[in-house]
Structure 1
């Protein structure tokens, strides 16, 4: 268990007055009565291997989108569309589902985001059960996408179902479902999709259900995400490969020189040693080392890298990883001095860091540390902005209240070491919208890994929390809309 210091989130007087009159018992009961149906629907979604990568069957991704569209229609919504936009290369982007319930006059709109595509299953021998056959064991549901992010879809669907059944005609806020179909492939058409359907997707609050809770039994609102830049480094030594016995000694091969270059990315403590990168403030909560090592599967004897609290190293400091390298496998190796090699570098950025300046700093470092005069080049890749939530904003306060009310313990305001680059696109397109990053995962969910799973008890609590959030917004937690009527504008 991770010790935590929950950030106090007692609702203000106005929010407390609003929430005191909500039918919380009836809303909880509705979620509970439909929960077995919700899990059964999730099991059906897991069975569809919808993967947005070009190497996989696109027909399965279409099946997935149609299944999600049918689920949303089952809640009573008629305005349900499957939409796509073109990629830069002319191909079609992944199918996204957009469904809308119009807002009553003067009421705000909430956009509910999740994604229906999943990661490839990976090595089947590492799974304890079939990846696309959901299996319940010890209170957890195992299967690819069971947590990331088909449970996010079902949290949206189940919450909408519960609140419409309970509030009926008094449920006046607008709700827009936006279920993406290519998130695990990097959301290549996301910005274009927003531009094309800007008015269709406009809202006052955007709930992104693609993150994690602090631990089983303790909810969290993700209030910061690191940004991201990546690039490819190439080291060239000779014009062609040569025999290691005939030429080895005076010449160091390209992988060896690449290793020397990679070693300059961190100092002796393991902190990123690239000049010009921003470091943020320490987090308000910490992560016990023993728990972190267990959650991450760190082997005995391996020392942790960096300085400061573990949460600051995870959330508010830069982190650099080598995520790929062109080099023959051991089975394919020969006595050859390789002329060149490439490595893919991924650099996570602290909130407050400009991605363009970070990319420039990374390139400068690579060129300045060329080992033994080798020819070194850097090709910039993707770049994504970091994200930070204004936790004093009305929507965030309502979310913190709903999480605490559902779980019965105060929610933790956490950062996330990972990045969700499309959130920067959402913020740029809808600058007045309040973005909330929530989730159903926990430290043992193992998203993207073998034996991905969902804690069913916390899954039900997540649905209750989202139901309560929608009910609070319906009761006026955001205040009154601006008279200008601009999409997404609310008074604080």
Structure 2
């Protein structure tokens, strides 16, 4: 690496934490439309201070920012978002959710990890590189920062398709990543797709006395039976045709899976899991390469204290499907409808929620991916963990489809970071290493590590 691995970055780290504190204080909750314009303006000011030309485009919920700076043979496109999840329930926070607070080496606050901490650590690392290159940014950096990610990025796919030429790049750096408790960086070369749905069933115009359960069907029974038909005891989705389009994993994917450490022990211990699913030896294959259906919520009838002998008129179940290449979200909805009809659940309505995401996965052998792996290992002083895919989802597919560049995810999250939950946090150690990685990664790309 061309960056001095022992350079003192403390001033840049502290400046970055000051920036993060100011950004966390802006309550940019996209689900509620709070402070999105103000936060977009603050992000714009931070980028312009580093010489970026920033343009703001209207989105369905919040502005989409496109920034560009630097000059060189390699073009890197970075994707981040400035919106955050709601802070509720507030009473479960140990400190105010929109005040960046440090306790025992952890920095707490909504957005500290997802995604303001990621953005600021990268901006601070870019400042390091500029300082070491005499104020010059020796590669072209394009930055796409949206404010709608936490509500499904409804504007993003059409935006990328319409601005593909100006977003063209040799590689894309995704908005998140994680570090293990032992300090090993975890990289992801893909994301699962997602389909979010509601199943609704109504059997009467109003609730009835439960004595009528002898002669009137129950919507919750019907929904329970419908949901039970979707997967087997081991979690395998049972919808006919669901697996037909699944892309076979590559030799590189399989080799990466075999090299992944552990069998999910950290997850089970951190969250005190009492019912793990599947054989422990399948943990990484399931998380990376297998599609899944989840029940997110089951609602209907009386849910208060004590008993109420009522036959509900209607009920509702929330589901999500996590998909793998080359499954199509629209086709999954069609297959679900056909399955429910075949099982005599024609009265169950399917409601599509938010915007769906296609699955995406980069070639693990691509030079850009391997450069990220190599630099991460050098910065952290330990072999990185490379996953073919994250178990989570996001709008990665439009970048690969329209920009046509490989994507790698690497960031500063941690397994106890409580992203989307009260007491969201990052480790100061990980933020500091994120700054150092950014400077080293950009330096390596600038100095000749072009994509294949």
Alpha carbons of 1:297 and 1:133: their partners in 2 closer, same or farther (altered >3 Å)? farther
Aligned match of 2:3: 23
The alpha-carbon distance between structure 1 residues 169 and 161, as it changes in their structure 2 partners (threshold 3 A), is: closer
Change beyond 3 A, Cα 1:378–1:209: closer
Counterpart for residue 138 of structure 2: 172
Alignment match of 1:153 (pick from 119, 127, 130): 119
1:66 and 2:66 equivalent? no
Q: Deviations over 1:44-88 (max 9, x none)?
A: 1111111112x343xx1122112212222232x152233324x3x
TM-score (norm 2): 0.89
How well do the aligned residues superpose, as a CA RMSD in angstroms?
2.4
| Cα displacement (A) at 1:197 | 3.4
Q: Deviations over 1:86-140 (max 9, x none)?
A: x3xxxxx312332211424xx1211121111100001011111111111111111
The residue aligned with 1:261 is 226
Aligned counterpart, 2:81: 115
Kindly indicate whether the alpha-carbon contact (under 8 Å) linking 1:112 and 1:156 is maintained by their aligned counterparts in 2: no
* Contact map agreement 1:286 1:310 (CA 8 A) in 2: no
Following superposition, the deviation at residue 469 of structure 1 comes to 1.2
| 8 A contact 1:254–1:339 mirrored in 2 | yes
Return closer, same or farther for 1:290/1:412 CA change in 2, 3 Å cut-off. Answer: closer
**Structure 2 contact 301–311 (Cα < 8 Å) conserved:** no
Distance in 2 between residues matched to 1:404 and 1:429, nearest whole Å: 30
- Determine if the alignment matches structure 1 residue 98 to structure 2 residue 76: no
Instruction: Give the Cα separation in 2 of the matches to 1:392 and 1:206.
Output: 15
* 2:303 is the alignment partner of 1:330: yes
The alpha carbon displacement at 1:170 in A equals 6.2
Counterparts in 2 of 1:100 and 1:30: CA distance versus 1, 3 Å? farther
Q: Is the 8 A contact 2:122 2:434 kept in 1?
A: no
In structure 1, what is the equivalent of residue 412 of structure 2?
Answer: 440
Which deviates more from structure 2 when the two are superposed, residues 248-257 or residues 449-458?
248-257
Instruction: Please list, as runs of the form range in 1=range in 2, the aligned pairs for 1:176-187 lying within 5 A after superposition.
Output: 176-187=142-153
Q: Distance in 2 between matches of 1:335 and 1:426?
A: 53
Q: 1:293 aligns with which of 268, 276, 283?
A: 268
> Aligned equivalents of 2:70 and 2:184: distance in 1?
34
Output the CA distance in 2 between the equivalents of 1:24 and 1:426. 32
Q: Under a length normalisation based on structure 1, what TM-score does the superposition of the two structures give?
A: 0.83
> Contact 2:359–2:397 (CA<8 Å) still a contact in 1?
yes
Aligned counterpart for 1:50 among listed residues 28, 45, 53:
28
How do 1:80-479 and structure 2 match up within 5 A? Answer: 80-85=54-59, 87=60, 93-104=61-72, 107-168=73-134, 171-238=137-204, 240-245=206-211, 247-278=212-243, 283-284=257-258, 285-298=260-273, 302-307=274-279, 308-331=281-304, 334-370=308-344, 375-381=347-353, 382-414=355-387, 415-420=389-394, 422-431=395-404, 433-478=405-450
User: CA offset at residue 42 of structure 1?
Assistant: 0.9
Partner residue, 1:3: none
- CA drift of 1:328 comes to 4.0
Query: In the alignment, is residue 32 of structure 1 matched against residue 10 of structure 2?
Result: yes
Q: In structure 1, what is the Cα distance between the partners aligned to 2:116 and 2:265?
A: 30
Q: CA deviation at 1:462?
A: 1.8
Q: Which segment is superposed worse, 336-345 or 274-283?
A: 274-283
SS in structure 2 at match of 1:417: strand
| Post-superposition offset of 1:196 | 4.1
3-state SS, counterpart of residue 320 of structure 1: strand
Q: 1:71 to 1:142 in 2, by over 3 A?
A: same
Contact 2:185 2:410 in 1 (8 A): no
Which whole-Å CA distance do the structure 2 matches of 1:98 and 1:170 have between them? 20
User: Per the alignment, do residues 477 and 459 of structure 1 end up closer, same or farther by CA in structure 2, a change over 3 Å counting?
Assistant: same
